[in-house]
Amino acid sequence: MNIFLSFFVESLPLHFTSLSNNFLIQQLVQLINYLSSHPSMSSSSRYGQLILGDSESIEGNKRRTNTRIHEVFISFRGKDTRASFTSHLYSSLQNAGINVFRDDDSLQRGDHISTSLIRAIEESQISVIIFSTNYAESLWCLEELNKIMSCHRTKGQVVLPVFYGVDPSEVRHQTGEFGKAFQNRWDNPNRVILDKVTEDTRLKEIVKLRKVILQAASLAGFVVLNSR
């Protein structure tokens, strides 16, 4: 039986809380496969009705006309999902013939993302943001997110949020455990990245990042509240 998913770009996230991680990954891969096979189906579209499980969407990788270097960029917090959800999603996308970029943040040094990573985001057709409990604690993740949403606005890059073990509302408003992680980023004097700027500038940066998180978390996406 085909599974129909209405992809409303401006709607609240779609909930798949009762689905297993493997089934969710399967559906996400098929959605990405469809979107990468239809470059005209961009984030500027009001909505598109996608048929997941259809053989045509599975075979979509054979008909791709996308000329970007990467079809998918995955933004994630390594200590939360590297060895679990992100690893399985990455492998599934590769097995489906999808060109995917996954930055290994275990190898990162310093706070700010590199020029090559910025280029990888710019050259991707789709970005998958895996929001997890400690995502907003990492400036690296927040800078990736800011760049992704910039490409979403200026290039029409498709953005698909995945809420892994966090409630979408808590992400949008930076409350709960997600909010604590975000606040910890700024409250710990040893981790403040703008240590040589004025308090006013620091507060403006916080407001900007809160807005970016809200915008990203308000897009249609996938929710897995049970991350076991």
What is the set of active-site residues?
Answer: 144
Dihedral of alpha carbons 210, 213, 215, 218, sign: negative
Q: Is 2 exposed, middle or buried (0-12, 13-18, 19+ CB in 10 A)?
A: exposed
Closest CA to 167 of 155, 181, 177: 177
CA separation (Å) from 217 to 37, 76, 111? 25, 14, 23
Sequence-ordered alpha helix ranges (H) in the chain:
21-37, 55-58, 78-81, 85-95, 115-122, 139-155, 168-173, 176-187, 199-217
